[in-house]
Chains A and B, each alone.
Chain A
Amino acid sequence: MKEVNLTELEAAFQAKIDSEVRIEPKDWMPERYRKTLIRQISQHAHSEIVGMLPEGNWITRAPNLRRKQVLLAKVQDEGGHGQYLYSAMETLGHSRQQSMDDLISGKAKYSSIFNYPTLTWADIGAVGWLVDGAAIMNQVALCRTSYGPYARAMVRICKEESFHQRQGFEIMCVLMKGSEEQRAMAQDAMNRFWWPALMMFGPSDADSTNSEESLKWRIKRHTNDELRQSFIDATVPQAELIGLTIPDKDLKWNEARGHYDYGQIDWNEFKQVVSGHGPCNTERIAARKKAEEDGKWVREAAMAYAEKKKARKAS
Protein backbone atom coordinates (compact mmCIF):
# COMPACT_ATOMS: atom_id res chain seq x y z
CA MET A 1 0.00 0.00 0.00
CA LYS A 2 2.71 2.38 1.06
CA GLU A 3 4.71 1.54 -2.03
CA VAL A 4 1.84 2.34 -4.34
CA ASN A 5 1.46 5.69 -2.67
CA LEU A 6 5.10 6.46 -3.15
CA THR A 7 4.96 5.61 -6.83
CA GLU A 8 1.90 7.77 -7.23
CA LEU A 9 3.52 10.62 -5.37
CA GLU A 10 6.58 10.39 -7.51
CA ALA A 11 4.53 10.35 -10.68
CA ALA A 12 2.56 13.39 -9.54
CA PHE A 13 5.78 15.13 -8.62
CA GLN A 14 7.34 14.44 -12.02
CA ALA A 15 4.16 15.59 -13.74
CA LYS A 16 4.40 18.90 -11.91
CA ILE A 17 8.02 19.26 -12.95
CA ASP A 18 7.18 18.43 -16.55
CA SER A 19 4.45 21.03 -16.67
CA GLU A 20 6.82 23.63 -15.18
CA VAL A 21 5.02 24.00 -11.87
CA ARG A 22 7.47 25.16 -9.22
CA ILE A 23 8.06 22.89 -6.25
CA GLU A 24 7.56 24.73 -2.95
CA PRO A 25 8.90 23.88 0.53
CA LYS A 26 5.66 22.32 1.80
CA ASP A 27 5.13 20.15 -1.28
CA TRP A 28 5.97 16.48 -1.25
CA MET A 29 9.29 15.74 -2.94
CA PRO A 30 11.44 12.64 -3.36
CA GLU A 31 14.15 12.35 -0.73
CA ARG A 32 16.82 12.32 -3.41
CA TYR A 33 15.49 15.55 -4.90
CA ARG A 34 15.69 17.17 -1.48
CA LYS A 35 19.20 15.83 -0.86
CA THR A 36 20.46 16.88 -4.27
CA LEU A 37 19.09 20.36 -3.76
CA ILE A 38 20.54 20.71 -0.28
CA ARG A 39 23.90 19.67 -1.62
CA GLN A 40 23.73 22.00 -4.60
CA ILE A 41 22.32 25.06 -2.81
CA SER A 42 24.68 24.77 0.15
CA GLN A 43 27.59 24.30 -2.24
CA HIS A 44 26.43 27.39 -4.06
CA ALA A 45 26.02 29.37 -0.82
CA HIS A 46 29.48 28.34 0.35
CA SER A 47 30.93 29.46 -2.97
CA GLU A 48 29.51 32.94 -2.41
CA ILE A 49 30.95 33.13 1.10
CA VAL A 50 34.34 31.61 0.32
CA GLY A 51 34.39 33.73 -2.84
CA MET A 52 34.51 36.82 -0.63
CA LEU A 53 38.03 35.88 0.44
CA PRO A 54 40.12 36.11 -2.74
CA GLU A 55 38.50 39.43 -3.64
CA GLY A 56 38.51 40.68 -0.06
CA ASN A 57 42.25 40.17 -0.30
CA TRP A 58 42.47 43.36 -2.40
CA ILE A 59 40.01 45.71 -0.69
CA THR A 60 42.61 47.31 1.55
CA ARG A 61 44.98 47.67 -1.41
CA ALA A 62 42.50 48.86 -4.05
CA PRO A 63 44.27 51.47 -6.18
CA ASN A 64 41.87 54.38 -5.73
CA LEU A 65 38.82 55.49 -3.79
CA ARG A 66 36.34 54.57 -6.48
CA ARG A 67 37.74 51.08 -6.95
CA LYS A 68 37.82 50.54 -3.22
CA GLN A 69 34.12 51.39 -2.93
CA VAL A 70 33.12 49.30 -5.92
CA LEU A 71 35.06 46.30 -4.63
CA LEU A 72 33.65 46.65 -1.11
CA ALA A 73 30.15 46.77 -2.56
CA LYS A 74 30.84 43.77 -4.76
CA VAL A 75 32.19 41.59 -1.99
CA GLN A 76 29.27 42.69 0.16
CA ASP A 77 26.87 41.60 -2.59
CA GLU A 78 28.45 38.15 -2.53
CA GLY A 79 27.76 37.97 1.20
CA GLY A 80 24.15 38.85 0.42
CA HIS A 81 24.02 36.07 -2.16
CA GLY A 82 25.26 33.63 0.44
CA GLN A 83 22.56 34.84 2.78
CA TYR A 84 19.72 34.34 0.24
CA LEU A 85 21.03 30.92 -0.64
CA TYR A 86 21.40 29.70 2.93
CA SER A 87 17.80 30.82 3.48
CA ALA A 88 16.66 28.86 0.42
CA MET A 89 18.57 25.86 1.75
CA GLU A 90 16.94 26.19 5.16
CA THR A 91 13.49 25.79 3.56
CA LEU A 92 14.58 22.21 2.82
CA GLY A 93 15.08 21.50 6.50
CA HIS A 94 18.86 21.83 6.61
CA SER A 95 20.30 24.26 9.16
CA ARG A 96 22.84 26.95 8.40
CA GLN A 97 24.96 25.83 11.33
CA GLN A 98 25.10 22.27 10.04
CA SER A 99 26.01 23.58 6.64
CA MET A 100 28.78 25.81 8.05
CA ASP A 101 30.14 22.90 10.05
CA ASP A 102 30.26 20.81 6.89
CA LEU A 103 32.14 23.56 5.08
CA ILE A 104 34.74 23.83 7.81
CA SER A 105 35.18 20.09 8.17
CA GLY A 106 35.76 19.84 4.43
CA LYS A 107 32.67 17.68 3.91
CA ALA A 108 30.86 20.31 1.85
CA LYS A 109 32.33 21.61 -1.36
CA TYR A 110 32.42 25.05 -2.94
CA SER A 111 33.45 26.29 -6.34
CA SER A 112 37.03 25.22 -7.08
CA ILE A 113 37.86 28.63 -8.56
CA PHE A 114 38.13 30.26 -5.15
CA ASN A 115 41.08 28.09 -4.29
CA TYR A 116 43.21 30.13 -6.67
CA PRO A 117 45.07 33.16 -5.32
CA THR A 118 44.52 36.79 -6.30
CA LEU A 119 48.07 38.00 -6.83
CA THR A 120 47.66 41.37 -8.50
CA TRP A 121 45.04 44.05 -8.92
CA ALA A 122 44.33 42.67 -12.39
CA ASP A 123 43.09 39.49 -10.75
CA ILE A 124 40.21 41.50 -9.36
CA GLY A 125 39.30 42.41 -12.92
CA ALA A 126 39.74 38.83 -14.11
CA VAL A 127 37.66 37.41 -11.28
CA GLY A 128 34.80 39.83 -11.90
CA TRP A 129 34.87 39.35 -15.63
CA LEU A 130 35.58 35.61 -15.93
CA VAL A 131 34.45 34.12 -12.64
CA ASP A 132 31.27 36.15 -12.26
CA GLY A 133 30.82 35.76 -16.00
CA ALA A 134 30.98 31.97 -15.72
CA ALA A 135 28.74 32.07 -12.66
CA ILE A 136 26.12 34.00 -14.61
CA MET A 137 25.93 31.29 -17.28
CA ASN A 138 25.02 28.81 -14.56
CA GLN A 139 22.80 31.15 -12.65
CA VAL A 140 20.69 32.48 -15.48
CA ALA A 141 19.74 28.88 -16.18
CA LEU A 142 18.99 28.39 -12.48
CA CYS A 143 16.45 31.23 -12.46
CA ARG A 144 14.09 28.64 -13.95
CA THR A 145 15.14 25.75 -11.74
CA SER A 146 12.27 23.62 -10.44
CA TYR A 147 12.59 24.48 -6.74
CA GLY A 148 10.79 27.77 -6.06
CA PRO A 149 12.91 29.31 -3.29
CA TYR A 150 16.12 28.52 -5.17
CA ALA A 151 14.79 29.98 -8.42
CA ARG A 152 13.65 33.16 -6.70
CA ALA A 153 16.99 33.59 -4.93
CA MET A 154 18.69 33.22 -8.29
CA VAL A 155 16.62 35.97 -9.91
CA ARG A 156 17.82 38.48 -7.30
CA ILE A 157 21.39 37.26 -7.56
CA CYS A 158 21.61 37.33 -11.34
CA LYS A 159 20.92 41.05 -11.54
CA GLU A 160 23.91 41.75 -9.33
CA GLU A 161 26.19 39.23 -10.98
CA SER A 162 25.91 40.80 -14.39
CA PHE A 163 26.82 44.10 -12.80
CA HIS A 164 29.91 42.46 -11.27
CA GLN A 165 30.85 40.96 -14.60
CA ARG A 166 30.71 44.36 -16.30
CA GLN A 167 32.75 45.99 -13.55
CA GLY A 168 35.39 43.28 -13.85
CA PHE A 169 35.56 43.72 -17.59
CA GLU A 170 35.86 47.46 -17.12
CA ILE A 171 38.88 46.97 -14.84
CA MET A 172 40.47 44.88 -17.60
CA CYS A 173 39.65 47.50 -20.25
CA VAL A 174 41.35 50.24 -18.23
CA LEU A 175 44.42 48.07 -17.70
CA MET A 176 44.64 47.22 -21.40
CA LYS A 177 44.50 50.91 -22.24
CA GLY A 178 47.18 51.64 -19.66
CA SER A 179 50.94 51.21 -19.41
CA GLU A 180 52.93 48.22 -20.58
CA GLU A 181 53.10 47.00 -16.99
CA GLN A 182 49.35 47.20 -16.66
CA ARG A 183 48.75 45.30 -19.89
CA ALA A 184 51.18 42.59 -18.79
CA MET A 185 49.38 42.41 -15.45
CA ALA A 186 46.04 41.94 -17.21
CA GLN A 187 47.39 39.26 -19.55
CA ASP A 188 48.99 37.41 -16.66
CA ALA A 189 45.67 37.39 -14.80
CA MET A 190 43.98 36.10 -17.94
CA ASN A 191 46.58 33.35 -18.26
CA ARG A 192 46.04 32.20 -14.71
CA PHE A 193 42.24 32.47 -14.55
CA TRP A 194 41.10 31.27 -17.97
CA TRP A 195 41.39 27.52 -17.43
CA PRO A 196 40.17 27.51 -13.84
CA ALA A 197 37.16 29.56 -15.04
CA LEU A 198 36.35 26.87 -17.61
CA MET A 199 36.59 24.25 -14.88
CA MET A 200 33.88 26.08 -12.92
CA PHE A 201 31.25 24.36 -15.07
CA GLY A 202 32.30 21.02 -13.66
CA PRO A 203 33.36 17.75 -15.32
CA SER A 204 32.51 17.20 -18.95
CA ASP A 205 29.13 15.58 -19.57
CA ALA A 206 30.63 12.17 -20.18
CA ASP A 207 32.08 12.15 -16.65
CA SER A 208 29.38 14.01 -14.76
CA THR A 209 27.66 11.77 -12.24
CA ASN A 210 24.77 13.94 -11.10
CA SER A 211 23.73 15.37 -14.41
CA GLU A 212 21.04 13.07 -15.69
CA GLU A 213 18.78 13.05 -12.65
CA SER A 214 19.23 16.79 -12.17
CA LEU A 215 18.11 17.38 -15.73
CA LYS A 216 15.09 15.14 -15.32
CA TRP A 217 14.06 17.09 -12.20
CA ARG A 218 14.90 20.33 -13.93
CA ILE A 219 17.22 21.35 -11.15
CA LYS A 220 19.60 21.80 -14.02
CA ARG A 221 18.50 22.99 -17.43
CA HIS A 222 21.69 22.62 -19.42
CA THR A 223 24.63 20.27 -19.24
CA ASN A 224 28.05 21.35 -18.00
CA ASP A 225 29.50 21.27 -21.51
CA GLU A 226 26.67 23.33 -22.97
CA LEU A 227 27.16 26.04 -20.38
CA ARG A 228 30.93 25.97 -20.79
CA GLN A 229 30.53 26.41 -24.53
CA SER A 230 28.19 29.39 -24.09
CA PHE A 231 30.69 30.99 -21.77
CA ILE A 232 33.56 30.54 -24.20
CA ASP A 233 31.50 31.83 -27.11
CA ALA A 234 30.51 34.91 -25.15
CA THR A 235 33.93 35.64 -23.67
CA VAL A 236 36.37 35.15 -26.54
CA PRO A 237 35.12 38.18 -28.51
CA GLN A 238 35.33 40.32 -25.37
CA ALA A 239 38.95 39.31 -24.85
CA GLU A 240 39.76 40.06 -28.48
CA LEU A 241 38.06 43.43 -28.28
CA ILE A 242 40.48 44.66 -25.64
CA GLY A 243 43.56 42.85 -26.98
CA LEU A 244 43.87 40.01 -24.50
CA THR A 245 45.10 36.64 -25.73
CA ILE A 246 43.27 33.51 -24.63
CA PRO A 247 45.89 31.04 -23.37
CA ASP A 248 44.70 28.18 -25.57
CA LYS A 249 46.52 27.28 -28.81
CA ASP A 250 43.60 25.14 -29.94
CA LEU A 251 41.01 27.84 -29.65
CA LYS A 252 39.43 28.66 -32.98
CA TRP A 253 36.06 29.49 -34.46
CA ASN A 254 34.32 26.48 -35.97
CA GLU A 255 32.06 27.75 -38.71
CA ALA A 256 30.22 24.44 -39.08
CA ARG A 257 29.37 24.12 -35.39
CA GLY A 258 28.81 27.83 -34.93
CA HIS A 259 30.94 27.65 -31.79
CA TYR A 260 34.53 28.01 -30.74
CA ASP A 261 36.55 24.82 -30.52
CA TYR A 262 38.81 24.75 -27.51
CA GLY A 263 41.67 22.75 -26.10
CA GLN A 264 41.77 19.98 -23.54
CA ILE A 265 41.00 20.99 -19.96
CA ASP A 266 43.45 19.66 -17.39
CA TRP A 267 41.02 17.53 -15.41
CA ASN A 268 43.80 16.31 -13.17
CA GLU A 269 44.30 19.80 -11.92
CA PHE A 270 40.55 20.10 -11.40
CA LYS A 271 40.41 16.87 -9.39
CA GLN A 272 43.33 17.93 -7.30
CA VAL A 273 41.80 21.31 -6.47
CA VAL A 274 38.34 19.86 -5.78
CA SER A 275 39.79 17.26 -3.46
CA GLY A 276 41.44 19.91 -1.33
CA HIS A 277 44.89 20.30 -2.83
CA GLY A 278 44.64 23.54 -4.78
CA PRO A 279 46.87 26.54 -4.12
CA CYS A 280 44.62 28.06 -1.44
CA ASN A 281 42.21 25.38 -0.17
CA THR A 282 43.82 25.25 3.26
CA GLU A 283 43.88 29.04 3.59
CA ARG A 284 40.26 29.47 2.53
CA ILE A 285 38.94 26.89 4.98
CA ALA A 286 41.19 28.24 7.71
CA ALA A 287 39.79 31.75 7.16
CA ARG A 288 36.19 30.51 7.35
CA LYS A 289 37.02 28.46 10.43
CA LYS A 290 38.62 31.43 12.13
CA ALA A 291 35.63 33.69 11.39
CA GLU A 292 33.29 30.99 12.69
CA GLU A 293 35.29 30.42 15.88
CA ASP A 294 36.00 34.09 16.53
CA GLY A 295 32.33 34.84 16.08
CA LYS A 296 31.12 32.16 18.46
CA TRP A 297 31.12 34.28 21.61
CA VAL A 298 29.39 37.08 19.70
CA ARG A 299 26.58 34.84 18.48
CA GLU A 300 26.23 33.34 21.96
CA ALA A 301 26.02 36.79 23.49
CA ALA A 302 23.39 37.88 20.99
CA MET A 303 21.34 34.82 21.83
CA ALA A 304 21.75 35.26 25.58
CA TYR A 305 20.71 38.89 25.30
CA ALA A 306 17.65 38.02 23.22
CA GLU A 307 16.65 35.46 25.87
CA LYS A 308 17.06 37.98 28.68
CA LYS A 309 15.03 40.53 26.79
CA LYS A 310 12.25 38.04 26.21
CA ALA A 311 12.23 37.04 29.88
CA ARG A 312 12.09 40.68 30.95
CA LYS A 313 9.19 41.35 28.64
CA ALA A 314 7.33 38.34 29.99
CA SER A 315 7.69 39.38 33.63
Chain B
Amino acid sequence: MSALNTYILRIADDSLILGQRLSELCGHGPAIEEDIALTNVALDLIGQATSLYEYAAEIQNGGKTSDDLAFLRLEHQYLNTLLVEQPNGDFGMTIVRQWLFDTFRLPFYEALQQSKDAQIAGIAEKALKETRYHWRHSSEWVIRLGDGTEESHYRVQEALNFLYKYVDELFYMDDIDKEMIEKGIGVDLESLRPAFNERLKHVLEASTLSMPAYEWKLKGGRVGRHTEHLGHILTELQYMQRAYPNLQW
Protein backbone atom coordinates (compact mmCIF):
# COMPACT_ATOMS: atom_id res chain seq x y z
CA MET B 1 0.00 0.00 0.00
CA SER B 2 1.40 3.38 -0.97
CA ALA B 3 2.00 6.09 1.59
CA LEU B 4 -0.51 8.29 -0.20
CA ASN B 5 -3.14 5.59 0.12
CA THR B 6 -2.53 5.16 3.84
CA TYR B 7 -2.52 8.90 4.29
CA ILE B 8 -5.94 9.24 2.66
CA LEU B 9 -7.41 6.32 4.57
CA ARG B 10 -6.38 7.83 7.89
CA ILE B 11 -8.34 10.99 7.12
CA ALA B 12 -11.26 9.11 5.61
CA ASP B 13 -11.55 6.66 8.51
CA ASP B 14 -11.71 9.50 11.04
CA SER B 15 -14.63 10.97 9.12
CA LEU B 16 -16.40 7.67 8.58
CA ILE B 17 -16.18 6.40 12.12
CA LEU B 18 -17.20 9.70 13.70
CA GLY B 19 -20.02 9.98 11.16
CA GLN B 20 -21.13 6.48 12.08
CA ARG B 21 -21.06 7.33 15.78
CA LEU B 22 -23.17 10.44 15.22
CA SER B 23 -25.58 8.42 13.07
CA GLU B 24 -26.42 6.33 16.10
CA LEU B 25 -28.01 9.44 17.61
CA CYS B 26 -30.30 10.33 14.73
CA GLY B 27 -33.81 10.45 16.18
CA HIS B 28 -32.57 10.48 19.79
CA GLY B 29 -31.17 14.00 20.21
CA PRO B 30 -31.87 16.23 23.21
CA ALA B 31 -34.12 18.49 21.09
CA ILE B 32 -35.26 18.32 17.48
CA GLU B 33 -33.06 21.23 16.44
CA GLU B 34 -29.99 19.50 17.87
CA ASP B 35 -30.97 16.18 16.36
CA ILE B 36 -31.05 17.87 12.97
CA ALA B 37 -27.77 19.70 13.56
CA LEU B 38 -25.87 16.57 14.62
CA THR B 39 -27.29 14.63 11.70
CA ASN B 40 -25.97 17.37 9.45
CA VAL B 41 -22.50 16.88 10.87
CA ALA B 42 -22.82 13.12 10.36
CA LEU B 43 -23.86 13.69 6.76
CA ASP B 44 -20.92 16.01 6.07
CA LEU B 45 -18.46 13.58 7.61
CA ILE B 46 -19.74 10.60 5.66
CA GLY B 47 -19.67 12.74 2.54
CA GLN B 48 -16.03 13.63 3.18
CA ALA B 49 -15.21 9.98 3.80
CA THR B 50 -16.91 9.02 0.55
CA SER B 51 -14.85 11.46 -1.54
CA LEU B 52 -11.66 10.29 0.12
CA TYR B 53 -12.44 6.58 -0.32
CA GLU B 54 -13.27 7.20 -3.95
CA TYR B 55 -9.90 8.80 -4.43
CA ALA B 56 -8.12 6.03 -2.51
CA ALA B 57 -9.88 3.39 -4.62
CA GLU B 58 -8.81 5.22 -7.74
CA ILE B 59 -5.13 5.36 -6.81
CA GLN B 60 -5.12 1.76 -5.57
CA ASN B 61 -6.38 0.84 -9.01
CA GLY B 62 -7.09 -2.73 -7.87
CA GLY B 63 -10.77 -2.91 -8.76
CA LYS B 64 -11.92 -1.94 -5.28
CA THR B 65 -14.72 0.57 -4.80
CA SER B 66 -15.18 3.23 -2.16
CA ASP B 67 -17.73 0.95 -0.52
CA ASP B 68 -15.23 -1.91 -0.39
CA LEU B 69 -12.84 0.35 1.46
CA ALA B 70 -15.48 1.68 3.82
CA PHE B 71 -17.16 -1.64 4.58
CA LEU B 72 -14.88 -4.55 3.91
CA ARG B 73 -11.63 -4.06 5.73
CA LEU B 74 -10.67 -5.87 8.91
CA GLU B 75 -10.58 -4.08 12.21
CA HIS B 76 -6.82 -3.54 12.27
CA GLN B 77 -6.96 -2.08 8.77
CA TYR B 78 -9.03 0.91 9.92
CA LEU B 79 -6.73 3.79 10.70
CA ASN B 80 -8.91 6.26 12.56
CA THR B 81 -7.85 7.84 15.83
CA LEU B 82 -9.13 6.39 19.09
CA LEU B 83 -10.97 9.63 19.86
CA VAL B 84 -13.57 9.24 17.13
CA GLU B 85 -14.52 5.69 18.06
CA GLN B 86 -15.35 6.56 21.66
CA PRO B 87 -19.02 6.01 22.54
CA ASN B 88 -21.49 8.88 22.34
CA GLY B 89 -22.12 8.80 26.08
CA ASP B 90 -24.30 11.67 27.19
CA PHE B 91 -24.71 14.80 25.08
CA GLY B 92 -21.75 16.34 26.93
CA MET B 93 -19.48 13.51 25.83
CA THR B 94 -20.76 13.68 22.25
CA ILE B 95 -20.21 17.42 22.02
CA VAL B 96 -16.78 17.47 23.68
CA ARG B 97 -15.59 14.68 21.38
CA GLN B 98 -16.89 16.67 18.44
CA TRP B 99 -15.35 19.90 19.63
CA LEU B 100 -11.88 18.39 20.17
CA PHE B 101 -12.06 16.81 16.74
CA ASP B 102 -13.34 19.96 15.01
CA THR B 103 -10.68 22.07 16.72
CA PHE B 104 -8.08 19.79 15.16
CA ARG B 105 -9.78 19.46 11.79
CA LEU B 106 -10.09 23.19 11.26
CA PRO B 107 -6.37 24.04 11.05
CA PHE B 108 -5.74 20.64 9.45
CA TYR B 109 -8.02 21.28 6.48
CA GLU B 110 -6.79 24.87 6.26
CA ALA B 111 -3.31 23.51 5.73
CA LEU B 112 -4.38 20.57 3.56
CA GLN B 113 -5.98 22.96 1.09
CA GLN B 114 -2.41 23.83 0.05
CA SER B 115 -1.67 20.20 -0.81
CA LYS B 116 0.16 19.67 -4.10
CA ASP B 117 -2.24 16.84 -4.77
CA ALA B 118 -5.10 18.63 -6.49
CA GLN B 119 -7.73 16.05 -5.52
CA ILE B 120 -6.82 16.21 -1.85
CA ALA B 121 -6.68 19.99 -1.94
CA GLY B 122 -10.15 20.07 -3.48
CA ILE B 123 -11.62 17.73 -0.90
CA ALA B 124 -9.99 19.74 1.89
CA GLU B 125 -11.36 22.99 0.57
CA LYS B 126 -14.93 21.72 0.58
CA ALA B 127 -14.50 19.96 3.93
CA LEU B 128 -13.07 23.13 5.48
CA LYS B 129 -16.29 25.01 4.82
CA GLU B 130 -18.24 22.26 6.55
CA THR B 131 -15.78 22.03 9.41
CA ARG B 132 -16.03 25.75 10.14
CA TYR B 133 -19.70 25.27 10.74
CA HIS B 134 -19.17 22.12 12.83
CA TRP B 135 -16.56 23.85 14.95
CA ARG B 136 -18.73 26.88 15.59
CA HIS B 137 -21.59 24.62 16.56
CA SER B 138 -19.60 22.34 18.86
CA SER B 139 -17.66 25.13 20.56
CA GLU B 140 -20.82 27.12 21.18
CA TRP B 141 -22.28 24.09 22.88
CA VAL B 142 -19.16 23.54 24.99
CA ILE B 143 -19.41 27.14 26.16
CA ARG B 144 -23.14 26.88 26.81
CA LEU B 145 -22.81 23.66 28.76
CA GLY B 146 -19.64 24.68 30.59
CA ASP B 147 -21.16 27.98 31.66
CA GLY B 148 -24.73 26.66 31.95
CA THR B 149 -25.82 24.91 35.13
CA GLU B 150 -23.79 23.21 37.80
CA GLU B 151 -24.82 19.84 36.41
CA SER B 152 -23.92 20.66 32.83
CA HIS B 153 -20.58 22.11 33.90
CA TYR B 154 -19.80 18.95 35.82
CA ARG B 155 -20.82 16.71 32.93
CA VAL B 156 -18.75 18.42 30.24
CA GLN B 157 -15.75 18.71 32.54
CA GLU B 158 -16.00 14.97 33.17
CA ALA B 159 -16.25 14.34 29.44
CA LEU B 160 -13.20 16.47 28.79
CA ASN B 161 -11.28 14.71 31.55
CA PHE B 162 -12.11 11.37 29.97
CA LEU B 163 -11.43 12.28 26.35
CA TYR B 164 -8.35 14.41 26.80
CA LYS B 165 -6.02 11.41 26.75
CA TYR B 166 -7.01 10.79 23.12
CA VAL B 167 -6.24 14.31 21.89
CA ASP B 168 -2.54 13.90 21.34
CA GLU B 169 -3.08 11.10 18.84
CA LEU B 170 -4.69 13.59 16.49
CA PHE B 171 -1.13 14.90 15.98
CA TYR B 172 0.40 11.46 15.48
CA MET B 173 2.99 11.34 12.68
CA ASP B 174 5.23 8.62 11.31
CA ASP B 175 7.12 7.80 8.10
CA ILE B 176 3.92 8.04 6.09
CA ASP B 177 3.50 11.64 7.14
CA LYS B 178 7.16 12.40 6.56
CA GLU B 179 6.93 11.18 3.01
CA MET B 180 3.72 13.12 2.39
CA ILE B 181 5.20 16.30 3.85
CA GLU B 182 8.32 15.92 1.71
CA LYS B 183 6.19 15.56 -1.39
CA GLY B 184 4.16 18.62 -0.45
CA ILE B 185 1.01 16.54 -0.22
CA GLY B 186 0.59 16.20 3.53
CA VAL B 187 0.51 18.51 6.50
CA ASP B 188 3.11 18.83 9.25
CA LEU B 189 0.76 18.26 12.16
CA GLU B 190 3.25 19.63 14.67
CA SER B 191 2.86 23.00 13.01
CA LEU B 192 -0.85 22.96 13.82
CA ARG B 193 -0.41 22.69 17.56
CA PRO B 194 -0.21 26.43 18.32
CA ALA B 195 -3.45 27.15 16.46
CA PHE B 196 -5.10 24.14 18.06
CA ASN B 197 -4.03 25.11 21.57
CA GLU B 198 -5.04 28.70 21.04
CA ARG B 199 -8.54 27.74 19.95
CA LEU B 200 -8.85 25.25 22.77
CA LYS B 201 -7.78 27.80 25.36
CA HIS B 202 -10.18 30.39 24.05
CA VAL B 203 -13.21 28.11 24.34
CA LEU B 204 -12.13 26.70 27.68
CA GLU B 205 -11.94 30.18 29.13
CA ALA B 206 -15.34 31.17 27.81
CA SER B 207 -16.85 27.95 29.11
CA THR B 208 -15.22 28.21 32.57
CA LEU B 209 -13.87 24.68 32.08
CA SER B 210 -10.36 23.72 33.00
CA MET B 211 -7.72 21.77 31.13
CA PRO B 212 -7.37 18.28 32.62
CA ALA B 213 -4.39 18.03 34.91
CA TYR B 214 -2.94 14.78 33.56
CA GLU B 215 -0.32 14.41 30.89
CA TRP B 216 -0.69 10.78 29.87
CA LYS B 217 -1.89 9.84 26.43
CA LEU B 218 -3.27 6.91 24.51
CA LYS B 219 -2.71 6.11 20.89
CA GLY B 220 -2.71 3.22 18.42
CA GLY B 221 -5.58 3.90 16.03
CA ARG B 222 -3.37 5.35 13.28
CA VAL B 223 -1.58 2.01 13.01
CA GLY B 224 -4.72 -0.09 13.41
CA ARG B 225 -4.57 -0.83 17.13
CA HIS B 226 -7.96 0.22 18.49
CA THR B 227 -10.08 0.30 21.61
CA GLU B 228 -12.68 -2.41 22.22
CA HIS B 229 -15.31 -0.15 20.69
CA LEU B 230 -14.27 -0.31 17.06
CA GLY B 231 -15.11 -3.98 16.64
CA HIS B 232 -18.69 -3.28 17.66
CA ILE B 233 -18.95 -0.25 15.41
CA LEU B 234 -17.79 -2.38 12.49
CA THR B 235 -20.19 -5.18 13.37
CA GLU B 236 -23.04 -2.81 12.65
CA LEU B 237 -21.40 -0.87 9.86
CA GLN B 238 -20.42 -3.98 7.92
CA TYR B 239 -23.45 -6.12 8.69
CA MET B 240 -25.13 -5.96 5.28
CA GLN B 241 -21.93 -6.27 3.26
CA ARG B 242 -20.81 -9.27 5.31
CA ALA B 243 -24.20 -11.01 5.42
CA TYR B 244 -24.93 -10.49 1.72
CA PRO B 245 -21.61 -10.25 -0.10
CA ASN B 246 -21.23 -8.94 -3.63
CA LEU B 247 -24.69 -7.54 -4.13
CA GLN B 248 -25.98 -4.21 -5.37
CA TRP B 249 -28.13 -2.14 -3.04
* Residues of A in contact with B (beta carbons under 8 Å apart): 49, 52-53, 55-56, 59-69, 72-73, 75-76, 79-80, 82-83, 86, 121, 171, 174-175, 177-179, 181-182, 287, 290-291, 294-302, 304-305, 308
Task: Given A65-B49, A65-B53, A305-B147, answer yes or no on A52-B67 (Cβ-Cβ < 8 Å).
Answer: no
- Count B-side interface residues using an 8 Å CB cutoff: 48
User: Once the chains bind, are B149 and A304 in contact (CB under 8 Å)?
Assistant: yes
Assembly CA distance A138 to B102 (angstroms): 42
User: Once the chains bind, are A298 and B91 in contact (CB under 8 Å)?
Assistant: yes
Task: Given A298-B30, A298-B91, answer yes or no on A72-B152 (Cβ-Cβ < 8 Å).
Answer: no
Cβ contacts B48-87/A at 8 Å (1 or 0 each): 0110010000000000001100110000000000000000
Assembly CA distance A66 to B67 (angstroms): 9
Partner of B27, one of A53, A83, A182, A296: A53
Question: Is B138's CB within 8 Å of the partner chain A?
Answer: no
Cβ contacts B20-53/A at 8 Å (1 or 0 each): 1001101111111111100110110011011001
Partner of A295, one of B29, B147, B237, B249: B29
Question: Is B170's CB within 8 Å of the partner chain A?
Answer: no
User: Once the chains bind, are A83 and B46 in contact (CB under 8 Å)?
Assistant: no
| Residues of B with C-beta under 8 A to A86 | 32
| Residues of A with C-beta under 8 A to B90 | 294
| Residues of B with C-beta under 8 A to A80 | 36
| Residues of B with C-beta under 8 A to A53 | 27
| Residues of A with C-beta under 8 A to B43 | 69, 72-73, 76
User: Once the chains bind, are A64 and B33 in contact (CB under 8 Å)?
Assistant: no
Partner of B32, one of A59, A83, A171: A83
User: Once the chains bind, are A174 and B248 in contact (CB under 8 Å)?
Assistant: yes
CB-nearest residue of chain A relative to B236?
A60
Assembly CA distance A300 to B26 (angstroms): 21
CB-nearest residue of chain B relative to A58?
B240
Task: Given A56-B27, A68-B46, A69-B50, answer yes or no on A79-B149 (Cβ-Cβ < 8 Å).
Answer: no
User: Once the chains bind, are B70 and A83 in contact (CB under 8 Å)?
Assistant: no
| Residues of B with C-beta under 8 A to A299 | 30-31
User: Once the chains bind, are B28 and A63 in contact (CB under 8 Å)?
Assistant: no
* Residues of B in contact with A (beta carbons under 8 Å apart): 20, 23-24, 26-36, 39-40, 42-43, 46-47, 49-50, 53, 66-67, 70-71, 90-92, 143-145, 147-149, 151-152, 155, 236-237, 239-241, 244, 247-249
Task: Given A287-B27, A301-B152, answer yes or no on A61-B39 (Cβ-Cβ < 8 Å).
Answer: no
| Residues of A with C-beta under 8 A to B34 | 295, 298
Assembly CA distance A49 to B35 (angstroms): 11
| Residues of B with C-beta under 8 A to A61 | 236-237, 239-240
CB distance from B69 to the nearest CB of A (A): 10
Assembly CA distance A294 to B92 (angstroms): 11
Task: Given A69-B46, A301-B144, A301-B148, answer yes or no on A294-B244 (Cβ-Cβ < 8 Å).
Answer: no
| Residues of B with C-beta under 8 A to A49 | 27, 32
Task: Given A49-B32, A178-B248, answer yes or no on A75-B39 (Cβ-Cβ < 8 Å).
Answer: yes
User: Once the chains bind, are B40 and A76 in contact (CB under 8 Å)?
Assistant: yes
Partner of A59, one of B26, B35, B40, B70: B26
Partner of A60, one of B20, B30, B91: B20
CB distance from A38 to the nearest CB of B (A): 18
| Residues of B with C-beta under 8 A to A182 | 244, 247
| Residues of A with C-beta under 8 A to B28 | 56, 287, 290-291, 294
Partner of B29, one of A171, A291, A296, A301: A291
| Residues of A with C-beta under 8 A to B36 | 76, 79-80, 83
User: Once the chains bind, are B27 and A60 in contact (CB under 8 Å)?
Assistant: no
A-B contact pairs, 10 of them (CB 8 A): A60-B20, A60-B237, A61-B239, A64-B240, A121-B240, A171-B249, A174-B248, A298-B31, A298-B152, A301-B144
